[in-house]
Amino acid sequence: ATQRYVTWVTGYPWNSKSKDILDLKKAKEVLDRDHFGLDMLKNRMLEYIASIMLNIQNNGPDFATQSPILCFVGLAGTGKTTFAVSIAEALGRKFVRIPFGGMADSRVLRGQSRFFPDAEPGQVYKGMVRAETKNPVLLFDELDRVTETARADIMGVLIELLDPGQNNAFSDHYVDYPVNLSNCLFVATANNTTAISTAVID
């Protein structure tokens, strides 16, 4: 158990960071290649990517994390998830998808204490280890599809994950040590917003 814990802790990208691609022309090429039409959305996305690029150029790589969190709302199959993949590619960042469909326990996100024999880290921590960089695009897919019983708990964890004032010291119960997620770019998707708590929408 201790060996597994050490493996998870040493596998985390504490200092490893991918270099952002600051090229708006390439970003447009990626969006046009992957999605036909959707001009209004693409233009908004290019504005968004341009603001990230300006922040990085003017204020250094850590300032870009203050960018607003994107949330794509629309019917199934309209390209919400693939748009998030395109953003990651356009910026040259790793991509991590965390599916919320049917999620029934906040421990899936936050991990379980090592007190339990079958404990392991949560999906957020695991995703960061898989990405091998501390600034990936983190996609929270289908936020509105969590189960009714666990919704309040999961929304509580989401507030901590998405709030720039709190996510620089996110604590996974398994690791039991704060990790800095403020370099991540957060994207969320949902079919509708009625099942998402007001605080998370805000």
The whole-number pLDDT of residue 175 equals 94
At 166, give phi and psi (nearest 5°).
-120, -30
Q: Each residue of 161-176: pLDDT tens digit?
A: 998 888 889 999 999 9
- For residues 98 and 107, give the distance between their C-alpha atoms in angstroms, rounded to a whole number: 13
Across the chain, mean pLDDT equals 88
The whole-number pLDDT of residue 65 equals 55
pLDDT band at 76 (very low <50, low <70, confident <90, very high): confident
Q: Each residue of 2-11: pLDDT tens digit?
A: 899 999 999 9
Instruction: Indicate the Cα dihedral angle 89, 91, 93, 95, nearest 10°.
Output: -50
More confident residue, 124 or 54: 124
